[in-house]
Each structure stands twice: as C-alpha cells, then as structure tokens.
Chains A and B, each alone.
Chain A
C-alpha cells in the first residue's frame, strides 16, 4: 500500500480541464521531497510527464502542468484530448521509509 494516495479514476469531456491529486504525508511531499508525474498509455511503458514538481521534459505539451502545496500535489490537464486517456502516477521519496514510492495510479477516461 502506497503512502501516496491518488483517486482511482477521473474523467472529463474533450476540451475540458481535469486535475489528479496526490496526497502524501509530512515524511514525503510535506518534507519538501520532489514530486514527479508519469503517464502510462495502455500496453506501454510509463513516460515522464512532469519532474521536480512542475517541470515538463522536452516534448511534453504545455497542456500538462503540476503544482505542490503542503503534503499534496496535483496534475492538471487542460484541453483534454482522446489521446490523454491513460493511467497517471505520482512519485516521491519518503524520508521515513527511505525509499521512493509511486502513488496507486489514476485512470483518466475521456468521455
């Protein structure tokens, strides 16, 4: 069981904005450890979407953004497209467990 909690699923219509939360503890996100976000399309390997809280790797559209506050972080996707339908994972280091962990994942459905 992960110490990073994500909603199991979110959905939105094309063109809409959706957010995915990642709730942690004072030992991980709240300790100032960076949060990273990944997208996993069906049947493929994960892909880095956001690193170090709010940075996009080259090639990731600016429709994807992220933020962090206190013991939580969130990923926002604007202008939702059918191709965004995927599983999304947050990741952060936990200073008490001495390990990085992924959130449980959130399945995004584009209606």
Chain B
C-alpha cells in the first residue's frame, strides 16, 4: 500500500525550532515529488513547496521562501519540514503529499494524515 505517515502533533513556544517528518512507503520514494501544504485553523489549503528526493531539487512558494526549509533523507524515505524560529502564526495543520514522478506542478495523489503544530507561549 502506498502511504505517507507523518510525525505526531507538536506544541512549541515562539522562537523555538521544529522539524516534522513524512515517511513514504509502498513506492519508489526517490522518484516522486513530495510537497508540503499548510492549513491554518478554519482556513483553506496553501501550497508551501515541493522537493524531489532523487536529487533534492526544491521549489518554494514565494510566500514560504525563507520561512521554512524542506529537506529529505532518501536513505530512510523521509521528507522534512523545518522551522528555525516558530511564530504563533505558524499554528496550523501541515500535510505532506506525493506529487508526480516527472513534474512538480502535477497533482498530489497521496496525502499524509497531517501534523498539527501549535505555537503558543
């Protein structure tokens, strides 16, 4: 079964750092783009960026460039989303999702279950 399993919910304080993960299984992890999507409480979906595990080619939305870091460890089929200094406005559900094997603009066909990040003093 093709699936993406994300790390568990996090509660952090402002200015703390955080790295959440997304582990793929059931397919050739290195050959498909992996994306991250933010959903703030009660709001819509926001495309954050994608990474190609095969060569770590990464594309960010201008809205998230410089605010987060997307990375991957292909040896363990895991993608990451990282913050160096969290803000209260980072409170949201974060989803990872699998893109296509040849174009980062393609649809996300498999989604993780989501990781809830709460930032509060």
Interface residues of A (CB under 8 A from B): 2, 33-34, 36, 38, 40, 45-48, 51-52, 57, 87, 89, 91, 93, 97-105
Inside 8 A of B105's CB, which chain A residues have their CB? 33-34, 93, 100
* Given A38-B45, A102-B45, A102-B46, also A45-B95 (CB < 8 A): yes
Per the bound structure, the CA–CA distance linking A76 and B74 in Å amounts to 39
Please, how many residues of chain B have a CB less than 8 angstroms from a CB on the other chain?
22
- Name the distance in Å between A59's Cβ and chain B's nearest Cβ: 11
Per the bound structure, the CA–CA distance linking A50 and B82 in Å amounts to 30
Per the bound structure, the CA–CA distance linking A52 and B105 in Å amounts to 10
Report if B44 contacts A (CB, 8 A).
yes
* Given A89-B44, A102-B44, also A51-B62 (CB < 8 A): no
Could you count the A-B residue pairs with CB atoms below 8 Å apart for me: how many are there? 65
Across the interface, do A99 and B45 meet the contact criterion of CB distance under 8 Å?
no
Across the interface, do B112 and A51 meet the contact criterion of CB distance under 8 Å?
no
Across the interface, do B47 and A100 meet the contact criterion of CB distance under 8 Å?
yes
Binary interface encoding of chain B residues 5-46 relative to chain A, with 1 for a CB under 8 A from any of its CBs, else 0: 000000000000000000000000000000001000000111
Per the bound structure, the CA–CA distance linking A111 and B44 in Å amounts to 23
Across the interface, do A52 and B107 meet the contact criterion of CB distance under 8 Å?
yes
Across the interface, do A104 and B44 meet the contact criterion of CB distance under 8 Å?
yes
- Name the distance in Å between A51's Cβ and chain B's nearest Cβ: 4
Report if B85 contacts A (CB, 8 A).
no
Can you name 13 A-B pairs with beta carbons within 8 Å?
Answer: A33-B105, A34-B105, A45-B95, A45-B111, A46-B108, A48-B111, A51-B107, A87-B44, A91-B107, A99-B60, A99-B61, A100-B104, A102-B46
- Name the distance in Å between A77's Cβ and chain B's nearest Cβ: 18
